[in-house]
Amino acid sequence: MALITSETKGVFVIACTPFTDNGALDTASVDSMVDFYYEKGADGLTILGMMGEAPKLTQAESIEVTKLTLTRSGDKPVVVGVSAPGLAAIGELTKAVMDLGAAGVMVAPPSSLRTDDQIIAYYRNVVETVGKDVPVVLQDFPLVTGVQISTKVLGTIFEEHPSIVMLKHEDWPGLQKISDLRDAEAKGRRRTSILCGNAGAFITEEMQRGADGAMTGFAYPEMMVDVVRLSGEGKFDEAQDIFDAYLPLVRYEQQPGLGLAVRKYVLAKRGAIASAAQRRPGAALNALAIKEVEKLIARQTAKLEALN
Amino acid sequence: MALITSETKGVFVIACTPFTDNGALDTASVDSMVDFYYEKGADGLTILGMMGEAPKLTQAESIEVTKLTLTRSGDKPVVVGVSAPGLAAIGELTKAVMDLGAAGVMVAPPSSLRTDDQIIAYYRNVVETVGKDVPVVLQDFPLVTGVQISTKVLGTIFEEHPSIVMLKHEDWPGLQKISDLRDAEAKGRRRTSILCGNAGAFITEEMQRGADGAMTGFAYPEMMVDVVRLSGEGKFDEAQDIFDAYLPLVRYEQQPGLGLAVRKYVLAKRGAIASAAQRRPGAALNALAIKEVEKLIARQTAKLEALN
Amino acid sequence: MALITSETKGVFVIACTPFTDNGALDTASVDSMVDFYYEKGADGLTILGMMGEAPKLTQAESIEVTKLTLTRSGDKPVVVGVSAPGLAAIGELTKAVMDLGAAGVMVAPPSSLRTDDQIIAYYRNVVETVGKDVPVVLQDFPLVTGVQISTKVLGTIFEEHPSIVMLKHEDWPGLQKISDLRDAEAKGRRRTSILCGNAGAFITEEMQRGADGAMTGFAYPEMMVDVVRLSGEGKFDEAQDIFDAYLPLVRYEQQPGLGLAVRKYVLAKRGAIASAAQRRPGAALNALAIKEVEKLIARQTAKLEALN
Amino acid sequence: MALITSETKGVFVIACTPFTDNGALDTASVDSMVDFYYEKGADGLTILGMMGEAPKLTQAESIEVTKLTLTRSGDKPVVVGVSAPGLAAIGELTKAVMDLGAAGVMVAPPSSLRTDDQIIAYYRNVVETVGKDVPVVLQDFPLVTGVQISTKVLGTIFEEHPSIVMLKHEDWPGLQKISDLRDAEAKGRRRTSILCGNAGAFITEEMQRGADGAMTGFAYPEMMVDVVRLSGEGKFDEAQDIFDAYLPLVRYEQQPGLGLAVRKYVLAKRGAIASAAQRRPGAALNALAIKEVEKLIARQTAKLEALN
C-alpha cells in the first residue's frame, strides 16, 4: 500500500471505532463504515485517533481494527494513531501496523511536555523509535494535549526529520500558522503536507491559507470533500456556501466531551454503523440532544437542496 | 440603579475596553461604545471581564472605566467583573463599583481550585468578602479557568448563597447543565438567572433549554438581541435563521487568543470605538485575517438581507 | 500467592526496572534486585509503578518483568501498577498479572479527572473492569497526576468498593488525611490499609498518624523497614534518629525528574542491579551529581555508625 | 537605599505578612519581624512574595507593608514581589515601591505562558513596563507557576535585559541549572546573581554549585545565614552539619499548602510576630501538627547544641 508523503492531499476521515450496544467490537460495522467514508469521497482514513476511542481498546483489538480497516480500504491509504505515554508502546504498535500495510502513523505530544527543547527532543525520540522509514504525522492539538508548539519549533522538527511528512493541524487559533509554514517553504524549507482538524470548523479559511486538505471526523465527510475540491478549483465562494450549510451541525459536533456521541449518532442514522454506542465510559445523546441534532440535520438538508 | 436579580433576563453585552492607538484609555470611545450597544438592543452591559482586558488596567483606570460606563448607561444595569487572585482585591473593587452604582459583580473561580469542596468554600469566601447584599454572577468558564464545576456543586452554591443570583454559563458542553439546573428549580430549588456566553455559539439551543438570555461580546449584539427576543416569542425557527446568518463570523470570533482582535476590528469598523488597538500585550489582525473577516461580514450582510 | 488485604502492613518497595547499558531488559538484575529488597527487609514489592519506567516497556516486557519478579518473590506479595489511559488496557494487564499470581493492582487516576463525581465514577469503572475479586490499591499522588482527591471522596470510594483495600498515600500535604481517614474508621467505616509514598520523606509522622507502612522506592529500604518496625514498637524517637540519618539522601532522591537516576545509581552501587541505565528518554547523573550523592552516602554511613 | 545588582550575595529572607487574630494587618509585628530577621543575620528581605499572602492584601495595604518594612530596614535592601496577572498592575506597584525606596522587584511568570517565545516576550514586556532602571528578580518556580523556563531561555532573557540582575532559583530539580548558568558566564555571558529558594532544602549543594545565597523564608534564617557564610569560607562539611540539624523541620515546612502555617507558628513562637494567624482563606496548624513541629524543634535544638 502507498505511504503518505509530504505531497499528500485530500480528505482523510478520522474514523470512529464501531461497537455493538453491549460494547463488543462491531467488525461488520467497520466494513460498512469504511465503505461509507469512501463512497462519500474520502481519499484515506485515520484510525485509532482521539475520537476513535483508542484507549478503550486492548492491544489485540487495536490490531484487529487496523487489519479490518486496511483490508477493506484496498489501496487507499490508512494512517494509524499510535500516541501513547511511552515510546515502547509507540514503537510496538507502529511496527505492527506498518507491517500490516498502514500508510503512516500519527503521534501527538504527551501533555507533560513544556519547553521547546522538550518538544523537539520528544519527536527526535519518536523518529528514532519508529524508524526513519515510517512516515509520521505530527498532531498539533493544544486544546486537548495542553502542549503549545510554536511555528518555529515545528520548523525545527520538520527540518530535522524528513520522515515527519505531515502536520495534522488543529491549533486554535491556527490560521496564521498555516500561512507562516507555507511562507517558510516558499523561502526554501522542504514541503510538509498539512491536513486540518478542528472538526472542519475552519476548513474554508484553512484551504485558502494553503492547507492540503482535511483530517477530521465530521459525520458528513462530503462537506470536507466538496470544500477541498472546490477550493482546489479556486471556487471559494461555492465552497463557503456548502460549508455554511453544514456549519450549524459542525459547531454542535465540535463540543468537547459530546462530539463523539453526536458523530456516532449521525453515522448510525446514516447507516454507516449499526449502533451509536460508545464503549464505557462514554456519553450517549439523550432525547433533548437528539431533538437538537435532528433539527439541525433537517435544516441542513433543506439548505443543501436550496443550493442545488 | 437597579440591581440584577435571579429574574434578570435579556442580553448583557460583554463590553471591550477602548484604547487609543498608543495604548491610552479612550474615554470618548467608552461613551460611543456604550451608546452603540444600547442602540443595538442591549439590556445591560458587563465590563472588566476577560475580554475587557481588565488585567491590563490599573486600579484607577478600572474605576474610571466603571464610572464612565455607569454614567453613560443611565438606569441600565452594568455588571462589573472583579475576579482577582485574592479576596482583598475582589472586596476592594466590589465596594468601589457598587458604591458607584454597579448592578452586581462577576467572579470566576481561580484556576488553582480542584475539589468540589474547594470550589464551594471559595464562593463562600467571596460572598462573605463582598457582603450578602451584593448580587454576584458566578462565571462558569472551564475552557479558560480550568475549573470544572458540576451541576451538583452549582446547586449547593446556589442554595447556600441567595446573593449569587446569576450564572454566566459558558461550560462546554453545557446544554444539559442548563436543563438540569432548570429541572432542579422545577423541583423546588430557588430560581437563578442564566445568561450564556461562549461567544453566542449555542444561543439558540441555550434559549430552548431555559436560559434567560446572553452575556457575551459578539460584535453584532443585534444577533443575540434578535435570537433572545424571537425565542421568547416561541419563534425558534426564525431565531435559528438569523443565528445561522451570523454563525460563520461567530465561529471566527470564537478563536481563543484572536477573538478580541476580531471583535475590536468589527466594533471599530462599525463606528462603536475609534481604534481596534489592544493594550500591550495583544494581537492585532493582519491583512490576511482582515480579508477573511471582511469576506465573512459581506456574506453575512447578504444573508441578512435575504432574510428580510 | 496471598492477596493484599485491608489489613496489609509493612514495607512494599517500589521496584525499579533494570536495564542493560544499551537499554535491553536486564533479567538477571531483576533477580538480584528482588533478592536485595527482601534481604533488606521488604515485606513485598510494587512493580511497574511510575518509578518503574512502566510506560517504556512493551506489553510483552511488562508481563515478563511481572513473571520474573513473582517467581523470584516466592510467597511474598507483589503489587503491579496497571495505570493506563484507558480501561481496556487496565483490564487486560490486570487479568494477565493476576493470573500470574500478583497480590493486587495499583491504579492512579488519569490527569483528565477534575470533579469529585468524575473521580468517583472513574474508580467505579475500574472496579467493574478488573472485577470485584481483584484487590486494588488507589494511588493518590496529586503532585504528579494533578488530580486532587479529598478525604471525603476517598471515603465515598472506599465505602462503595470493598475491593479497594489499600491507599498508596502520597498527597502533599497529607498527614491530616491519614488522621481523618483513621478517624472515620474509628466511627465505623471499614478499614483500609494505608501505605505511604513520597520517597519516605514523612514516614515518621505518617506512622504516628496511623499509616500501616511504606510503599516507596528509596534505595535504602532498610530505612523504611527500621522506621516502620520501631514505630510499631512505639519507639518513635529511635525511629526518628534513624530517619534523620537518611534524610539528606531521601531529600536528594525526592527531586522530580532526577530521583530515578539517583535511585538507580545507588542500587547499582549497592550491587542490587548491574547498571544504573534508564531506558530512553531518561536522565543519568553527571559527575557533579554523583559527587553530591557520594558525599551524602558517606555522611549517612558515618551517622548510622554513630547510632550503633 | 542601595539597589540590588548582579553582584548581590547573601541571605534575603522571604518575609511573611503579620496579621492579628482577626485578620487585620499587624503593623507592630512588621517592625518586630523585620528586627528579628536582621538580628538573625539576614542581608536583606523580600516582601509580598507568594508566602507573604500578597494576593490577600489590598493595594493600599501592600503599600503600607512596603513603607513599614523599608523604614524599619534602614539601609538594608528590600525586594518587593510585584507579580500580577496584568502588566498594568505590575507597573503601578513597581513605581510605587521603587519611589518608596525598594531595592528591586520580583516577577514570576503567569501560569498561562507555554512556549519559549512567550516566556521571552513576557519578560521583554515586564522590563518595558517597569523601566530599564529598575532591578528585576526573575522568579523561576515551576512547581507553583507551571511554567518551565529552560536554561537556554534564561540565558536569552539575561542577555537581552541587563536590568534583570537576579534569578530567584527554585526549579526542581535545578542544581544543574545553576552549574549551567555559571558555565555560560565563564564563557562570557554577563553575571547574574542567583539566590535560591525551595525552603532552603538544597542550599548546601546550591552554594557549591555557585549560588550567591538564599532567598527563602525558613523560620530559622540563621540556618541559611550560617550555611551561606560557611560555604563562602569553603567549610562545606560544617555547613552540611548545621544544615542536617535543621533539615527535618525544613522538610516539614516545605509542604505546599501547609508551609506558611508552620512558618508563622514558629515565628510567633520565637517572638518575631504576635500571632500565627493567616488572613482568610488560610490553614492553621491543628494540635497534631503543632505536636509534630514542637518535637522537631526540640530535636533540632538538641542537635545544634551537640554541634557546639
Is A58 in contact with C87 (Cβ distance < 8 A)?
Answer: no
Q: Do A57 and C111 touch (CB under 8 A)?
A: no
Q: Crossing angle, helix D287-307 and helix D259-269, to 10 degrees?
A: 60
Q: Give tens-digit pLDDT for A72-126.
A: 999 999 999 999 888 988 999 999 999 999 999 999 999 889 999 999 999 999 9
Per-residue pLDDT, B284: 86
Q: A208 contacts in B (CB within 8 Å)?
A: 292
Q: Search chain B and give the residue with CA nearest A292.
A: B205
> Is D55 in contact with B92 (Cβ distance < 8 A)?
no
Report CB contact under 8 Å: A121, C57: no
Q: Nearest Cβ partner of C117 from B142, B147, B152?
A: B152
Is residue D50 predicted with pLDDT exceeding 90?
A: no
**Cβ distance of B173 and A257 shorter than 8 Å:** yes
Distance CA A297, CA A265 (A): 12
Query: Given D115, D150, D153, which is nearest A148 (Cβ)?
Result: D115
Kindly identify which residue of chain C lies nearest to residue A122, measuring between CA atoms. C281
Nearest CB to A244 within list B172, B248, B289: B248
Question: Are residues C244 and D240, on separate chains, in Cβ contact within 8 Å?
Answer: no
What would the mean pLDDT of A174-200 be, rounded to a whole number?
Answer: 96
Q: Which residues of C touch A (CB under 8 A)?
A: 54-59, 61, 84-89, 91-92, 111, 121-122, 125, 128, 279-281
Q: Which residues of C touch A114 (CB under 8 A)?
A: none
Q: Give the ipTM.
A: 0.96
Count CB atoms within 10 A of the CB of residue C39.
11
User: Which subunits sit against A, judged by 3+ Cβ pairs under 8 A?
Assistant: B, C, D
Instruction: Report the residue of chain B nearest A291, measured CA to CA.
Output: B205
For D64-75, the pLDDT digits (tens) are 999 999 999 999
> What grid cell was written down for A279?
464503549
- Chain A to chain B, count of Cβ pairs less than 8 Å apart? 62
Name every chain A residue with its beta carbon within 8 A of the beta carbon of D115: 116, 148-150, 153
Question: Of the candidates B154, B146, B148, which has an alpha carbon nearest to the alpha carbon of residue B256?
Answer: B146
pLDDT in tens, chain C (308 residues): 689 999 999 999 999 999 999 999 999 999 999 999 999 999 999 999 877 788 889 889 999 999 999 999 999 999 999 998 889 889 999 999 999 999 999 999 998 899 999 999 999 999 999 999 999 999 999 988 999 999 999 999 999 999 999 999 999 889 999 999 999 999 999 999 999 999 999 999 999 999 999 999 999 999 999 999 999 999 999 999 999 999 999 999 998 889 999 999 999 999 999 999 999 888 789 999 999 999 999 999 999 999 98
The reported pLDDT for the residue numbered A197 is 95
Backbone angles phi, psi at D80, to 5 degrees: -120, 130
Q: B128 vs B122, B138, B299, D281, CA distance in Å?
A: 10, 15, 50, 11
Q: Which residues does residue C14 pair with via DSSP β-bridges, in sequence order?
A: C46
SS3 C196: strand
Give residue ranges of C with CB < 8 Å to any D CB.
172-173, 175-176, 179, 201-202, 205, 208-209, 240, 243-244, 247-248, 251-252, 255-258, 286, 288-289, 292, 295, 299
Q: Could you say which of C92, C121, C280 has the minimum Cβ distance to residue A125? A: C280
Which band of pLDDT confidence, cut at 50, 70 and 90, is reported for residue D144? Answer: confident
Give the model confidence (pLDDT) of A33-58 as tens digits. Answer: 999 999 999 999 999 987 778 888 98
Neighbours of chain B (3+ CB pairs under 8 A): A, C, D
pLDDT at A153: 97
User: Nearest-CA distance from C261 to chain D in Å?
Assistant: 12
Mean pLDDT of chain D: 95
Cβ distance of A114 and D153 shorter than 8 Å? no
Q: Mean per-residue pLDDT for D284-296? A: 96
Whole-number mean pLDDT of chain B? 95
**Is the per-residue pLDDT at B97 higher than 70?**
yes
D198: left (phi over 0), alpha (psi -120 to 50) or beta: left
Is A89 in contact with C59 (Cβ distance < 8 A)?
yes
Q: How many whole angstroms from its chain centre is CA D117?
A: 26
* Contact residues, chain C, for B115 at CB < 8 Å: 116, 148-150, 153
Is 70 exceeded by the pLDDT of residue A1?
Answer: no
Please report residues of C whose CB lies closer than 8 A to that of D248.
240, 243-244, 247
Measure in Å the smallest separation between the Cα of B105 and chain C Cα atoms: 25
Name the DSSP class of C40.
Answer: T
- C186 CB neighbour count, 10 Å cutoff: 9
Residues of B in contact with A252 (CB under 8 A): 205
What class has domain C10-235?
alpha beta
DSSP C114: -
Q: Which pLDDT belongs to residue C1?
A: 62
What is the 8-class DSSP label of residue B170?
-
Partners of B59 on chain D (C-beta within 8 Å) are 59, 89, 92
Q: What is the pLDDT of residues B118-172, one digit of tens each?
A: 999 999 999 999 999 999 999 999 988 999 999 999 999 999 999 999 999 999 8
Which amino acid, A307?
L
Looking at every residue in chain A, the average pLDDT score rounds to: 95
Evaluate the omega torsion of the peptide bond into residue C18 and state whether it is cis, within 30 degrees of 0: no
**Chain B, chain D: beta-carbon pairs less than 8 Å apart:** 59
Confidence of residue A239 (pLDDT cuts 50, 70, 90): very high
Q: State the SS3 of D198-246.
A: HHHCCHHHHHHHCCCEEEECCCCHHHHHHHHHHHHCCCHHHHHHHHHHH
* Separation CA A261–CA D70 (nearest Å): 61
What is the model's pLDDT at position B1? 63
Q: What is the CA radius of gyration of chain D?
A: 18
Angle at Cα B22 formed by Cα B18 and Cα B27, nearest 5°?
35
**Cβ contact, residue pair A116, D148, below 8 Å:** no
C-alpha cell at B201: 455559539
pLDDT tens profile A201-235: 999 999 999 999 999 999 999 999 999 999 999 99
Inter-chain CB proximity A240 and B299 less than 8 Å: yes
Residue contact A55–C84, C-beta within 8 A: yes
> What is the pLDDT at residue A115?
95
Strand partners, C25: C19
pLDDT band at D55 (very low <50, low <70, confident <90, very high): confident
D149 to A116: CB separation less than 8 angstroms, yes or no: no
pLDDT for the residue numbered D73: 97
What per-residue confidence (pLDDT) applies to D1? 63
pLDDT surpasses 80 at D109: yes
The pLDDT assigned to B144 comes to 87
User: Is residue B52 very low, low, confident or very high in pLDDT (cuts 50, 70, 90)?
Assistant: confident
Residue predicted with more confidence, B85 or B169: B169
CA distances from D268 to B140, B287, C251, D264, D273 (A): 40, 62, 27, 6, 5
Identity of the residue in A172, A240, A292 whose CB atom sits nearest the CB atom of B256:
A172
Which residue in D59, D85, D92 is closest to B85 by CB distance? D85
Distance from the Cα of D71 to chain B's closest Cα (Å) equals 24
Chain B residues in contact with C150 by the CB 8 A cut-off are 115-117
**Which helix (DSSP H) or strand (DSSP E) does residue D81 occupy?**
strand D78-81
Q: List CB contacts (< 8 A) between D48 and chain B.
A: none
Alpha carbon distance C244, B72 (integer Å)? 68
Interface test with A, best of B209, B237, B255 (most A CBs within 10 A): B255
pLDDT at A284: 86
Test mutation, B111, B113, B115, B122, chain C, max C CBs within 10 A: B115
Residues in chain C within 8 Å Cβ distance of A85? 55, 84-85
Report CA-CA distances (Å) from C228 to A5, C8, C167, C183, D78.
60, 13, 17, 21, 46
- Structure confidence at residue D281 as a pLDDT band (50, 70, 90): confident
Q: How many CB pairs under 8 A join A and D?
A: 29
